[in-house]
Structure 1
Amino acid sequence: MIAIRIACIALSLATPCIAAAQSIPVAPMATPPQVGAIPLGTGGVPGMPAESWFTLAGRPTVRNVSTATLLPVLPDKAKATGAAVVIAPGGGFVMESMEAEAMKPARWLADHGIAAFVLKYRLDATPAPMDAFKQAALARFAAAAAAEAKGGADIAAPAPALADAQTAMRLVRDRAAQWGIDPHRIAYMGFSAGAIMGIDLVKTAAPGTLPDLLAAIYPSMAPATVPAAAPPLFVAVASDDELFGKQGYGLPDSWRRHGRPVELHVYEHGGHGFGFDGKPGTTSTGWNAALLGWLRAHGWLDRQK
């Protein structure tokens, strides 16, 4: 959810706030090649305008996704560990940050021998004109900030997006042998909205969809229903997160109270949407090193025998 500067949105839709948000560079871009992307066959979205790519503060982003796909980013066979991670970017279910929260971590995982699968999931429709889209996105994030100010009610993923995440998990397991993957070492990592989908994967626990590890990066921190088979959980969040910073730590505490493994990293500064690299000048820049240590501790860096 790199959003249209959530720090501003969290203050409400006052005129100065709108002006600040609209000053962030947004520019259309050509649809990038998505060679090897696998259509998930989960259906379309009625009335959805054409898929549109743009840069938000220089970061490739997509909106109006009506056809879900899964893009494999595979490691060199010489260093492949046999482990995998499905990655879901954030964007408030109206857009997806496809570089900072998807392709960049996918390439990083592949460099460490872990097969990565980037999920481009179905979104809520937004107006085709860019100015109208920006206003719709502002309204969406303002509503989320208002809910947070009133106590931070839990947020659920829209049904189409959750169905896409479930289908992606099943697909990777079903085709694990083709990609040289251990079907019992398939993790899920989501950022913001993508993390909310990951929590819902665990809550619903549909057959074949439960990840073996769950990494939730700046997720909703509301308490969650935790099934007995819930996977180990990794959470990275900033204490000054503009959307979820006042919720406390209900999410990881739910895991702890149910006796499930959990690792929590809270950074003093970073805000919401610090991306894979973290926010420059803050300790959130170290979160992916912590993630690597956690993956190593769970055997994701060990070569499959």
Structure 2
Amino acid sequence: MSSAYSAPTVFPLWPEGVPGMKDIGPEQNGKGYIQNTSNPTLTLVGPAVDRPNGTAIIVAPGGGYVRQAVDREGTQYANWLSTLGVTTFVLNYRMQEFGHPAPLQDVLRAVRLLRSRAAEFGIDPNRIGVMGSSAGGHLAASAGTLFDNPAGRTGAELDKVSARPDFLVLMYPVIAMEGAPAAHIGSRKALLGASPSPELLQLLSVDRQVTAQTPPTLLIHTQADATVPVENSILFYQALTKHKVPAEMYLFEKGSHGMGMRDGLGNASQWPRRAEEWLRARGLLTPAAPAAK
């Protein structure tokens, strides 16, 4: 068993000090949500002991960059991924109190940290993905498109490590920062403020940042989503297709925004099976040799 599992389950992203630290008071936890994060962390959920496969997924819960639905879109996903042999790290990232680029710095730091410590965690440094829901989906998509952007660097030694995820899983993601009907105004205001510049709107409308280097992506959304319209996933899928990035998209009829892994939503409740099939088809559930120590 990897030495990671004898270490504390929760560990800080920035042990040397959070860049641009602010005194915003204590973190707030309750009723399955986290708010007011100032010291970002990763929470490790290890793979089932009889089936570790070396794949790692960083999970970013949603909540409009105002709060994070850590139970429904963090811990629940991690426990499911554990049964598939995946090592999961639930990301508690900075939100509206900091704004851009703090969340981007946090998710890219998480990728760099796991890649640099792959042997310790028993994972393959070439099989590190990011999964996100809603605003967490925007953060995951940002990681897959802005991994080389200067805003994601802080001058730390780890900046030398690649921050490009190897794959993305986007659950009803926020993608567009402007334009009807796709743009989610709440996420935009929390991340970019009340009057963002045209340049920021362009940069963080992440479908516009897709290139051939964007990693393979799975998108899951519903027609019934009245909060983050399905057009967000369609825009990102079209951009991926234009740049010939391998992608699959499942658009279901039923299922409100933030559905998580809820039963009773028709075919939408079966999305974990579709996701497992996609991960398996990409070889991500086949055991990989751990990184050399």
TM-score scaled by structure 1?
Answer: 0.73
User: Which of the numbers 256, 268, 280 marks the counterpart of 2:253?
Assistant: 268
Supply the distance in 1 between the matched residues of 2:9 and 2:130 (Cα, whole angstroms).
Answer: 20
Preserved contact between residue 239 and residue 269 of structure 1 (Cα < 8 Å): yes
Residue 113 of structure 1 and its aligned partner are, at CA, apart by 0.8
Quick one: distance in 1 between partners of 2:58 and 2:11? 13
Residue 50, structure 1, aligned to residue 35, structure 2 = no
- 2:48 is aligned with 1:106: no
Take 1:76 and 1:228, find their aligned partners in 2: how far apart are those partners? Answer: 34
User: What 5-or-longer segments of structure 1 have no aligned partner?
Assistant: 1-33, 127-156
Separation in 2 of the partners of 1:44 and 1:119?
Answer: 19
CA positional deviation for 1:241: 1.3
**Match of residue 301, structure 1, among 264, 285, 288:** 285
Does the aligned pair in 1 maintain the 2:108–2:147 contact within 8 Å?
A: no
Which residue of the other structure, out of 187, 203, 213, is the alignment partner of 2:145?
203
- CA distance in 2: counterparts of 1:279 and 1:191, whole angstroms: 17
- Per the alignment, residue 18 of structure 1 pairs with none
Equivalence for 2:95: 123
Structure 2 counterpart of 1:49, one-letter code: G
Correspondence for 1:255 among 240, 247, 253:
240
Query: Equivalent residue for 1:172?
Result: 114
The alpha carbon displacement at 1:104 in A equals 1.0
Contact 1:45–1:122 (CA under 8 A) maintained in structure 2: no
Residue type at the aligned position of 1:227: T
Q: Which residue matches 1:148?
A: none
**Number of matched pairs:** 237
> Is this contact kept in 2: 1:93–1:124, CA < 8 A?
yes
CA distance, structure 1, for counterparts of residue 108 and residue 265 of structure 2: 37
- Deviation of the 1:159 alpha carbon: 1.1
TM-score, structure 2 normalization = 0.76
Cα gap change, 1:162 to 1:77, in 2 (>3 Å): same
DSSP-derived class of the 1:169 partner: helix
- Structure 2, unmatched stretches of 5+, are 1-6, 149-160, 177-206
User: Among residues 210, 214, 217, which one is paired with 1:230 in the alignment?
Assistant: 214
**Deviation for aligned residue 1:246:** 5.9
SS at match of 2:209: coil
- Residue 36, structure 1, aligned to residue 12, structure 2: no
Distance in structure 2 (CA, Å) of the matches to 1:80 and 1:257:
35
| Superposition RMSD in Å | 2.0
Q: Distance in 2 between matches of 1:45 and 1:95?
A: 18
User: SS where residue 224 of structure 1 aligns?
Assistant: helix
Shift of 1:278: 3.5
Post-superposition shift, 1:257?
A: 0.9
Deviation at 1:284, TM superposition (A): 1.4
Bigger CA drift: 43-52 or 174-183?
A: 43-52
The answer to whether 1:220 aligns with 2:174 is yes
Structure 2 CA distance, aligned partners of 1:279 and 1:44?
42
User: Structure 2 vs 1, CA of residues 107 and 44 (structure 1 numbering), >3 Å: closer, same or farther?
Assistant: farther
Percent identity reads 31
